[in-house]
Amino acid sequence: MKRSTLIIAIILFFSQVGFANDTSKIVLKTFKPELQHNTIFEFVGWVLSNNHYRKLTLNDSLSSQYLNNYIKHLDPSHIYFLKSDIQNFEKFRKTLDDDLKLGKPNAGFEMYNVYQTRLEERINYTFDLLNSQLYFSSNDSFSYKREDVDFAESMKEMDQLWRNKIKYEVLASKTGDKDYKSVAEIVRKRYYNLYKQLSKTRNEDVFSFYVNSLTEIADPHTDYFSPKVAEDFNQSMSLSLEGIGATLQTDNEYTKIVTLVKGGPADRSKKIFNNDKIVGVAQGKDGEMVNVLDWRIDEVVGLIRGKKGTLVRLQIIPHDATDNKTKVIEIVRDKIVLEDQAAKGSIKEIIRNNKTYKMGVINIPSFYMDFAAASRGDRNYKSTTRDVKKIIDSLSKQNIDGLVIDLRSNGGGSLQEAVELSGLFIKKGPVVQVKESSGMIRPYEDNNEEVLWNKPLAVIVNRFSASASEIFAAAMQDYGRAILIGEQTFGKGTVQNPIDINGFIQMGDLKFGEIKLTIAKFYRISGGSTQHHGVFPDIHFPGIYSGKEYSESGNEFSLPYDEINKMKFEKVADLSNRISLLKSKHDERMKINDEYNYLLEDIATMEAGRKKQFVSLNEEKFKSENKINEEKNKLRVEQRKKAKEKKGKNSENVDLILDETKEILVDLINGN
């Protein structure tokens, strides 16, 4: 399903799903549009063609894209549909645009019904396979990267594909001394669960699935929210709810971690990270692990969310895993409050040539503002800028020598806060330009001449710094006010506006959900868009996350990079010559930095894993490859432990980029 559509915070109460082995009572439905779906479908087409920034043209070209994208989301790995199914769908190649104008989503339901039939066939075939004895002594292999592989020509070819797929899943589930029977039962329960979840699918789910394959073509951040999803999403914005503090999205058959709430239970655990994939969920210490591959996102959320103080166990494929090997982590649910997400300051010291330098570090997890409190006239309402001002005042009284603004994994938030925060470091002037779909360009400016901090400043960013973070970082770079350090940012330079469909359509007591619509783009004051390209740091660190997979530019439908006129503004300084020297000294340090070289090794390992197309189905070879990876990971832990011991028993956890940022600030202070 469209990825950004189904992001839901995991913060409510949990429900328990049980298992059984009798499938005779499970009845699958045939899906068809409901009355309101026709009207909504036509409305979505109208909105995309008239109000979206891109203004889609409803023609045969769009119809062809729509068909391709829907098939891709139904069967991304080409493991369900036969080639004959795809050939049958060709009748829709040039008609989906006409259906959209007429408000007829029937084609989407027809194709989904075929998908469900094929999936049911595969589940039953899997049960038959697991009832027999599978052997793992041959040199067969399984390709788990099948996006570019053709669809199976026949049932015989499909059966062979699934035989290898299930053998792979059995091998991947076999740990310790488990015998074949117990491992086969684990896999059997997985597919029984999938069968059971399939029976819970509703017409609204199919409609949402179909519509969001269309909205994604407009751009990745335009979404249709069904009434239930809209309600859950809006409820998740409350700060009084409970859970692990994470957001999820569907990624093919997986449920993937999108972001972690800073200070939330998942973040505090230091065991789960962005882009980890959840494949199993269990309640408490001893609850049965429920496999959630191919599950509906709301059902996964139902298992993970729960009351404060309760334990949930997650079986995950780590984001940096090269072999899909899983691990289990434990998280105690807690209340997610604004205070956990607020900016926080600290002082880090660095000794150079027997002199101690004090560096203030401000971590900003999001650009937040309590709009409700502000509108009530509460003088003490919380906001990013207000909190950062207090922190800078406090740090200044402690005579810090330099300041670091840490925006790593800050996904954005309030545009106004990004503008006002920028104003703390410049006298006055433009911060960002916003271009609307009409072509009108509106600048956002800082008009307060007060400068709260005018000494050396560094800003840290990474691949997941986005939107408002990119606006602030770009402004600091354009003004020559700060040194930017880290990875190229995400590249999300678009503005969305929610549209309540209920305000346009009335049909009795029916609810119609919402559309989140992209209506504008951000541009730097130097003229270039932050969209697609993101912001390039002055001193770059390589990252383990592939730009193709983890950036705006990795989505084929993202809005392009472009430029508009540069604005008039007065630079604080021209740092170009200083940056060259700072980079030279940085490169010298990195040559002998163990952590940096570990990072390069990790990146090489990840790249090799991405290029790997097949996994062996020979049990001995499979175990041998896993053992090599385990020993490599164990060696790395030992290397880091020894490096830490050299620094002293009380040394802090290694933060390579922050440590190097302090070094760079010292160079800047000393005029190097």
Looking at 37-51, 84-98, 155-169, 358-372, which range is the least confident one? 358-372
Res 340: pLDDT: 60
347 and 213 both lie in a single domain: no
CB–CB of 452/535 below 8 Å?
no
**CA 548 and chain centroid, separation:** 13
**Would you call 478 a catalytic residue per the annotation?**
yes
End residue of a domain, out of 537, 560, 594? 594
**In the structure, what pLDDT confidence band is assigned to residue 380 with cuts at 50, 70 and 90?**
confident
**In the structure, what pLDDT confidence band is assigned to residue 190 with cuts at 50, 70 and 90?**
confident
Tell which wins on pLDDT, 300 or 341: 300
**CA 193 and chain centroid, separation:** 26
Residue 20: pLDDT over 70: no
CB–CB of 245/261 below 8 Å?
yes
> Is residue 500 classed as helix, strand or coil in its secondary structure?
strand
CA dist 343 and 360 (Å) reads 13
**In the structure, what pLDDT confidence band is assigned to residue 232 with cuts at 50, 70 and 90?**
low
CB–CB of 445/535 below 8 Å?
no
Handedness of CA 247, 199, 220, 48 (dihedral sign): negative
Segment 427-430 long-range contacts (CB within 8 Å, at least 24 positions apart): 427/451, 427/570, 429/479, 429/525, 429/569, 429/570, 430/525, 430/567, 430/568, 430/569
432 and 574 both lie in a single domain: yes
Residue 659: pLDDT over 80: yes
Question: Look-up: residue for tokens 């027997």?
Answer: 354
Residue 250 lies in a domain: no
pLDDT in tens, 292-320: 887 777 778 878 888 888 999 999 998 87
CA dist 532 and 553 (Å) reads 5
Res 274: pLDDT: 84
Res 653: pLDDT: 66
In the set 63, 465, 467, 616, the catalytic residue is 467
CA dihedral 624, 626, 632, 633 (to 10 degrees): -160
202 and 346 both lie in a single domain: no
Res 12: pLDDT: 28
Angle between helix axes 155-173 and 106-131 (nearest 10 degrees) is 60
**In the structure, what pLDDT confidence band is assigned to residue 667 with cuts at 50, 70 and 90?**
very high
Q: Pick from 7-11, 20-24, 541-545, 629-633 the range whose average pLDDT is largest.
A: 541-545
**How far is residue 589 from each of residues 402, 542, 593, 660, measured CA to CA in Å?**
20, 15, 6, 9
CA dist 595 and 598 (Å) reads 5
Res 255: pLDDT: 87
- Picking from 51, 3, 143, the residue whose alpha carbon sits closest to that of residue 438 is 51
Residue 515: pLDDT over 50: yes
Res 338: pLDDT: 53
Task: For residue 247, list its beta bridge partners.
Answer: 9, 259
**In the structure, what pLDDT confidence band is assigned to residue 245 with cuts at 50, 70 and 90?**
confident
- Picking from 412, 540, 406, the residue whose alpha carbon sits closest to that of residue 469 is 412
Cα 13–Cα 14–Cα 16 angle in degrees, nearest 5: 155
Residue 83 lies in a domain: yes
Residue 376 lies in a domain: yes
Helix runs in 467-543, H state only: 468-478
Tell which wins on pLDDT, 191 or 227: 191
Res 86: pLDDT: 98
Amino acid, res. 664: I
**Would you call 335 a catalytic residue per the annotation?**
no
CA dist 181 and 491 (Å) reads 48
In the set 167, 262, 435, 492, the catalytic residue is 492
554 and 417 both lie in a single domain: yes
Residue 357: pLDDT over 70: yes
Res 252: pLDDT: 65
Residue 503: pLDDT over 80: yes
Residue 100: pLDDT over 60: yes
Question: Look-up: residue for tokens 């906001």?
Answer: 383
Looking at 188-197, 346-355, 475-484, 542-551, which range is the least confident one? 542-551
End residue of a domain, out of 594, 629, 646? 594
Q: How many CB atoms lie within 10 A of CB 76?
A: 14
370 class by beta-carbon count within 10 Å (0-12 exposed, 13-18 middle, 19+ buried): middle
Residue 631: pLDDT over 50: yes
Would you say how long the chain is, in residues?
Answer: 672
Tell which wins on pLDDT, 193 or 661: 661
CB–CB of 521/53 below 8 Å?
yes
**In the structure, what pLDDT confidence band is assigned to residue 16 with cuts at 50, 70 and 90?**
very low
Q: Which residues lie below 8 Å from residue 65, measured CB to CB, with a gap of 6+?
A: 217
**CATH number of the domain to which 543 belongs:** 3.90.226.10
Tell which wins on pLDDT, 17 or 552: 552
CA dist 82 and 430 (Å) reads 56
Res 648: pLDDT: 61
In the set 75, 219, 478, 667, the catalytic residue is 478
- Picking from 263, 279, 372, the residue whose alpha carbon sits closest to that of residue 327 is 279
Residue 651: pLDDT over 80: no
Residue 507 lies in a domain: no
- Picking from 32, 56, 35, the residue whose alpha carbon sits closest to that of residue 44 is 56
Domain that holds residue 544: 342-495+519-594
The pair of structure tokens assigned to 613 is 């197309």
The structure's pTM equals 0.82
End residue of a domain, out of 572, 594, 616? 594
Domain count for the chain:
2
Res 228: pLDDT: 76
Looking at 88-97, 445-454, 626-635, which range is the least confident one? 626-635
Res 26: pLDDT: 85
CA dist 633 and 320 (Å) reads 12
Residue 171 lies in a domain: yes
Cα Dmax for the chain: 77
The pair of structure tokens assigned to 271 is 């065991």
Residue 647: pLDDT over 80: no
Average pLDDT estimate for 587-606 = 92
Residue 110 lies in a domain: yes
Residue 257: pLDDT over 80: yes
Helix runs in 370-526, H state only: 371-375, 384-397, 415-422, 468-478
Res 215: pLDDT: 98
Edge-to-edge strand ranges of the sheet holding 539-540: 344-352, 355-363, 402-406, 457-461, 483-486, 539-540
What percent of the chain lies above the pLDDT cut of 70?
92
Q: Please compute, for residue 68, the number of CA atoms within 13 A of its CA located in the half-sphere on the CB side.
A: 10
Res 176: pLDDT: 67
CA dist 298 and 317 (Å) reads 20
Query: What is the average pLDDT score of the chain?
Result: 88
Handedness of CA 224, 230, 233, 238 (dihedral sign): positive
Residue 566 lies in a domain: yes
Tell which wins on pLDDT, 503 or 650: 503
**Would you call 467 a catalytic residue per the annotation?**
yes
Average pLDDT estimate for 453-482 = 97
Question: Look-up: residue for tokens 């999803």?
Answer: 229
CA dist 264 and 529 (Å) reads 33
Res 19: pLDDT: 38
CA dist 168 and 615 (Å) reads 8
Average pLDDT estimate for 392-396 = 97
Average pLDDT estimate for 339-356 = 89
Residue 443 lies in a domain: yes
Each residue of 297-307: b (16+ CB within 10 Å) or e?
bbbbbbbbbbe
CB–CB of 520/530 below 8 Å?
no
Q: How many CB atoms lie within 10 A of CB 35?
A: 9
Res 179: pLDDT: 83
